[in-house]
Structure 1
Amino acid sequence: MKAKLLSYIPRSTIQSYKLDWKNQLPHLSYTFAIESISRTCSHQLVRHRVASFSQQSQRYITVKRLSEKIVIPPTIKDVNIVNEFIKSSSNTYEQLVEKGVPKEDARFFLPNATETSLLMTMDGKSLAHFFGLRCCNRAQWEIRSLANSMLEQVRKVEPEIFNRIGPYCYQLGYCPEGRFSCGEMQETIERYVRDNESTS
């Protein structure tokens, strides 16, 4: 998984309007190139509707060497089972394409573990919300890792804003998850404070 901040509208472009940092956020924009994430992760990303996405097509691009282009969760220790499934899925896909089935139909038999790449653009307010949800310990591991990588990058270019941003417990000082809390709020807040200090 790789995320790279490609471009952004710097805070300095709107500072003359005397807005506080929270009111500046909706007017700022951040574009990331995201590579080698699973389709599972991309499905979670596109739930953030106040964003623009351009995702690699499986309709026009033939998926080759599927076994080299999958994301395996770290909790899966027996990769032999996974490899058997991927081989079967890959064979099914390739045979369908060879028989003239359109790629857009053959892709139905590709797993959610298949890697994809995309461009994503979000305004600052939506990005702060994204980090609040997806940096949370309760978020799925892959999107949490992606969110933390993205947060690290925007903290470098806009520390005055994004050093205040992280999972909601860090932003708010309390956990909004209620009874679904991870139970590690204090440790999480301390970790994000340390991360701020190391990037400052």
Structure 2
Amino acid sequence: MLVTLTQATPDPINTIATIASICYDSDPKNPLGLVKHLYRNGHHSVFEHIYFTFKIEGISRACSHQLVRHRHCSFTQRSQRYCSEDGFKVVCPGTVVAMGGQYDYGAVVNRISEFYEEAQQVGIPNEDARYILPNACETSMYLSCNLRELIHMANERLCMRAQWEIRELVQQMVYCVNADLWFMLVPKCKSGRIICNDPCGKVGAL
């Protein structure tokens, strides 16, 4: 998995503070303090002015299917219809490796790959041959979102109850952005605003 921040609003803290100041006709003396105040008090609309674009490579299709459920993001994904997936790579869950199942897993993937290439050779188009491809198949995409949506993603996907792959993905996205924003980009149990009704007991591991 590789996550790269390709575009971002420069100087996000000062940008947020400047935009927020119009609401109160004020001049922000302490931009970071103001942003923390806005966050704590739920004045999050100003965070929508901060934008990010990420290039995401090497995640599974299973992970991308979870990711696109975040409806306030924009996505552009590598097409399995127009692109050939011959020689495709896969993501193998650690649980499979832990039980020693990676060899059987690899054998199944190899057979799928053989069938896919055989289908192409007899004239079956990529758009139909792709039906055999597994959720483990690697994909790449661009994702654009504003800070408010990234906060929501972090609240939901950094939770220890989220699946490991999307949790790792969102953590990498957080590490890519300005470190002054990290205090907002946390699992919901650490947000100070959202109560988890079913605690996992793993808050110390986050």
How high is the TM-score relative to the length of structure 2?
0.82
Of 51, 66, 70, 2:90 maps to 70
RMSD: 1.7
Structure 1 unaligned spans of 5+: 192-200
Deviation at 1:174, TM superposition (A): 6.2
Q: Secondary structure at the match of 2:184?
A: coil
How many residue pairs align between the two structures? Answer: 181
Identical residues among aligned pairs (%):
37
1:123 to 1:173, Cα distance in 2 relative to 1, 3 A: closer
Deviation at 1:158, TM superposition (A): 4.9
Q: Secondary structure at the match of 1:5?
A: strand
Deviation at 1:9, TM superposition (A): 1.4
d(CA) in 1 for partners of 2:136 and 2:119? 19
1:169 to 1:145, Cα distance in 2 relative to 1, 3 A: same
Answering whether residue 88 of structure 2 is matched by residue 82 of structure 1, we say no
d(CA) in 1 for partners of 2:8 and 2:160? 27
Deviation at 1:15, TM superposition (A): 3.3
Structure number, greater radius of gyration: 2
How high is the TM-score relative to the length of structure 1?
0.84
Deviation at 1:52, TM superposition (A): 0.3
- Counterpart of 1:117 in structure 2 is 140
Q: Secondary structure at the match of 1:57?
A: coil
**Equivalent pair of 2:16/2:47 in contact (CA under 8 Å):** no
d(CA) in 2 for partners of 1:93 and 1:131? 36
- Counterpart of 2:123 in structure 1 is 100
Cα deviation, 1:173-192, whole Å, max 9, x if unaligned, reads 6642x23x31223x14xx5x
Deviation at 1:14, TM superposition (A): 4.8
